Amino acid sequence: MERIMSGYSLRLQEPPFALPFDTILHGRYRIGKVLGFGGFGITYMGEDLRDQRRVAVKEYFPGGFVSRHPGKLMVETTSGYRQFMRGKDNFLQEARIIYHCKNSHILKIFSLFEENGTAYYVMEYLQGSDLRELLKRNGGRLSWADFEPVVLQIMDALCEVHKEGIIHRDISPDNIYITEDRTAKLIDFGAARALSTEKSRSVILKKGYAPPEQYQSHGRQGPWTDIYALGGTMFRALTGEMPPESVERVRHDTLKRPETYGIGLPPSVSTAIMKALSLREEQRFQRVEAFRQALMKESIEDSAPTGRLKRAFGEALKRADGLFKKNQAVTLVGITGFYASQSFKLEQDVTVGRDPSVCGIIFPPDTP
């Protein structure tokens, strides 16, 4: 369908209340097809006529508050003018937050402006799919080898967000976008808020990903809030199962360690996820950097020969009930490294560990 308007042809879109094809915004952005629309806005494919590049354009269009006649540009408020204006301010605030976070793993914003009685922001055009769709295509879950790069990239993005004094508050598989070249991007900052905000925060929830403090308008929120949600996202992506809702866990905690789902996962990664999913915020990692270090450092140790030996040694200690007493017929034989082929008869009480001031046998030694 075409309609002649202001001397040029405008083809109507679906939905019909969307901007017509070939509309020019801000004097430089040509509107193309609708990429998606929801309760608060419409996203279009666009063309930046000045820089000759493809972009995506998001329009603030809250259903139930506004309307637009097919073929027209102006948005008309039908009800709740104050709510509409408040929402528009929040929409622009979301754009400003993303704009100021300069990181290759955060969606890039090029421009934001008001026009046609509403607001817009122009962002990079991404090709790929969100993590939720990627999981669907891969049988519901990913291996740690495949998922680890995504996690580290999103952690990099969150470090930048938190450095800017912002918490995202909506980390979940549908807000992590994986491009065709396997770059992970953190998107949708609609729930993001400043850490310094003292007044009550709106309650933003995604069951399974929202920690207990997010269910309270005056809950103590901070980086640890995003850390819980990232832990929940990791749990979902690796096990194929949604983590139990946090408020239900407060009553009766049924959360299981990820490796119990029969997946190949380093124990240190499982331990880090469980710590991130602690119900009490003070028991979680307080900074994303600490979460990342726990994954990286311990994963390296787990994969190294020393790490495997430490676990085997630990299992041997468990089988001996962890007690080596004098006069017991116990002999330890070193199988590798510094203690290779050496044997130790325990004729007195002995403690095994790293600290030479208190341990009779130093394990594992610092010497290669």
Please write the tens of the pLDDT for every residue from 21-56: 999 999 999 999 999 887 789 999 999 999 999 999
172-181, 190-199, 351-360 — which is least confidently predicted? 351-360
Report residue 44 as tokens.
Answer: 């279009």
Kindly indicate the confidence band of residue 322, based on its pLDDT and cuts at 50, 70 and 90: very low
CA distance 177 to 174: 7
- 255, 277 contact by CB (below 8 A): yes
Domain at 128-303: CATH architecture: Orthogonal Bundle (1.10)
Cα–Cα distance measured from residue 242 to residue 233, given in angstroms and rounded to the nearest whole number: 8
**Stretch 88-92: mean pLDDT, rounded?**
91
| Contact in structure between 257 and 274 (CB atoms under 8 Å) | yes
pLDDT in tens, 194-228: 665 544 445 567 899 999 999 887 778 999 999 99
Domain extent listing, the chain: 2-124, 128-303, 319-362
Check pLDDT > 60 for residue 341.
no
Q: CA-CA distance, 361 to 338, in Å (whole number)?
A: 12
Lowest mean pLDDT among 83-87, 134-138, 142-146: 83-87
User: Would the pLDDT of 368 be above 60?
Assistant: no
Q: Which of 224, 239, 237, 241 is nearest to 276 (CA)?
A: 224
User: In the structure, what pLDDT confidence band is assigned to residue 182 with cuts at 50, 70 and 90?
Assistant: very high
Which architecture characterizes domain 2-124 according to CATH?
2-Layer Sandwich (3.30)
Sequence-distant (6+) residues with CB within 8 A of 368 are: 337, 338
Q: Which of 33, 35, 7, 6 has the alpha carbon at shortest distance from 20?
A: 33
* pLDDT value at 230 more than 70: yes
Nearest residue to 49 (alpha-carbon basis) of 111, 134, 136, 131: 111
CA-to-CA distance for 205 and 207, rounded, in angstroms? 6
317-322 long-range Cβ contacts below 8 angstroms, 24+ apart: 317/352
- Looking at residue 356, what is its pLDDT? 54
| Confidence bin at 127 (pLDDT 50/70/90) | very high
